């Protein structure tokens, strides 16, 4: 599915490129104009969409595993809103660049995660309690973000509002390379924590009996999940519902017994690349990809709420 969406993205557009021309451009041959369109314009955007979508899918899988609830995702639990707040503060107050905005997003996401866990108190490990508190925290932070944009200078507010829509427009290798490096570094602890995560899905007692340090593992997974969301927010702005939907769709397609990080990451990449392709070509103008994910993801969220409520 990812390969099919990727090939469509590289060939489709106002300047249509044949499949063989794409192959020639990627191998360094072909016309200079075609190489510029495929390699310099379309390829970095496609790679960013796949990379950021995979990060969101992994983040959603981590939090759904920790909470043992399909509603557990960073955008529902408020961590994405916290990353948005941190990045927005840097943009509005310090006119921060790429790396400063990334640092603000990570700090905001971690601060929000700490706040949610503190509010959850002694029952913090209970998934439903975390989700309910996270929804309330997300609503408050979203209101704060809207207020900050309204109070800012017009030029700064317009730029912040466009960024807040969540978009891959105008992004290229300059943003791709540092994002890829940061996510590659995060992959190391995530791979190490994959086995403890699966053991904790079987229950606290089973995990402890298997020799898993549940508190340390849970903290490490939370930090990794928040960092994944914060990096995506810093690069492209807040993108909702991919983290919520990707693990559930991957679980149903694979008929797996638990949460698969690999499949969730791949499904997140498929969802974001498909949403970005639709945002570019479906309506005759380029829309922010966040508009597409919110429009489709909102219906999925309502269906999930109804399904969980009937249980």
Q: Is 257 exposed, middle or buried (0-12, 13-18, 19+ CB in 10 A)?
A: exposed
Give me the CATH number covering residue 291.
1.10.3470.10
Q: How far is CA 18 from CA 12, 162, 286, in A?
A: 9, 33, 22
pLDDT in tens, the chain (311 residues): 999 999 999 998 888 888 888 888 888 887 888 888 888 889 999 999 999 999 999 999 999 988 888 888 888 888 889 999 998 998 888 876 777 888 888 899 889 988 888 887 754 456 678 888 888 999 999 999 999 988 888 888 887 887 888 889 888 888 899 999 999 999 999 999 998 898 888 777 778 887 888 888 988 999 999 999 989 998 888 898 899 999 988 988 888 777 789 999 999 999 999 999 998 888 777 888 888 888 777 777 777 777 767 76
For residue 169, what are its two tokens?
A: 């427009």
Distance between CA atoms of 275 and 52, rounded to whole angstroms? 12
- pLDDT, position 124: 46
Percent of the chain with pLDDT over 90: 32
Q: Among positive and negative, which fits the CA dihedral 151, 153, 158, 162?
A: negative
For residue 271, what are its two tokens?
A: 């969802």
Phi-psi sector, 191: left (phi>0), alpha (psi -120 to 50), beta:
alpha
47, 179 contact by CB (below 8 A): no
- pLDDT, position 126: 62
Neighbours of 220 (CB within 10 A): 18
Distance between CA atoms of 102 and 107, rounded to whole angstroms? 9
Distance between CA atoms of 269 and 53, rounded to whole angstroms? 4
Backbone dihedral angles phi then psi of residue 77, each to the nearest 5 degrees: -85, 0
- pLDDT, position 122: 52
49, 289 contact by CB (below 8 A): yes
* Secondary structure letter of residue 73 according to DSSP: -
Distance between CA atoms of 125 and 241, rounded to whole angstroms? 23
User: Going along the chain, which residue ranges are E strands?
Assistant: none
The domain of 210 spans 2-310
* Secondary structure letter of residue 286 according to DSSP: P
User: What long-range pairs does 293-301 form, CB within 8 A, spacing at least 24?
Assistant: 293/166, 293/239, 293/240, 293/241, 293/242, 294/240, 294/241, 296/241, 297/240, 297/241, 297/242, 297/244, 297/245, 298/241, 300/241, 300/244, 300/245, 301/76, 301/241, 301/244
Phi-psi sector, 234: left (phi>0), alpha (psi -120 to 50), beta:
alpha
pLDDT tens-digit map of 170-182: 888 888 999 999 9
149, 161 contact by CB (below 8 A): yes
For residue 164, what are its two tokens?
A: 């807040």
Q: With CA atoms as reference, report the closest residue to 66 among 77, 80, 55, 53.
A: 77
Which run of H or of E encompasses 292? helix 289-310
Distance between CA atoms of 21 and 10, rounded to whole angstroms? 10
Q: With CA atoms as reference, report the closest residue to 213 among 195, 235, 196.
A: 196
pLDDT tens-digit map of 134-167: 889 999 999 999 999 888 888 888 878 878 888 8
Cα 49 to chain center, whole Å?
10
Looking at the structure of the chain, the number of domains it has is 1
């Amino acid at each position: 599915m990812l390969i099919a969406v990727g090939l469509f993205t590289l060939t489709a557009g106002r300047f249509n490129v044949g499949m063989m021309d794409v192959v020639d451009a990627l191998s360094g041959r072909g016309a200079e104009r075609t190489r510029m369109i495929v390699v310099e314009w379309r390829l970095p955007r496609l790679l960013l969409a796949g990379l950021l979508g995979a990060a969101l899918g992994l983040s959603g899988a981590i939090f759904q595993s920790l909470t043992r609830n399909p509603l557990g995702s960073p955008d529902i639990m408020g961590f994405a809103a916290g990353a948005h707040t941190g990045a927005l503060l840097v943009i509005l107050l310090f006119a921060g660049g790429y790396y400063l905005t990334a640092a603000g997003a990570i700090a905001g996401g971690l601060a929000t995660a700490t706040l949610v866990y503190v509010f959850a108190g002694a029952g913090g490990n209970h998934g439903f309690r975390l989700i309910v508190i996270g929804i309330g925290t997300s609503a408050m932070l979203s209101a704060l973000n809207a207020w900050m944009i309204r109070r800012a200078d017009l030029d700064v507010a317009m730029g912040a509002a466009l960024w807040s829509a969540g978009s891959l427009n105008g992004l290229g290798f300059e943003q791709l390379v540092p994002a890829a490096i940061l996510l590659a570094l995060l992959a190391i602890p995530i791979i190490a924590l994959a086995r403890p995560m699966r053991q904790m899905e079987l229950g606290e007692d089973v995990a402890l009996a298997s020799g898993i340090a549940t508190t340390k593992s849970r903290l490490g997974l939370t930090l990794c999940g928040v960092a994944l969301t914060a990096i995506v927010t810093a690069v492209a702005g807040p993108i909702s519902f991919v983290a919520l939907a990707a693990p559930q769709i991957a679980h149903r397609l694979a008929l797996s017994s638990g949460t698969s990080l690999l499949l969730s990451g791949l499904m997140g990449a498929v969802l974001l690349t498909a949403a970005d392709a639709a945002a570019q070509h479906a309506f005759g103008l380029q829309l922010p990809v966040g508009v597409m994910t919110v429009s489709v993801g909102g219906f999925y969220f309502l269906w999930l709420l109804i399904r969980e409520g009937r249980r």
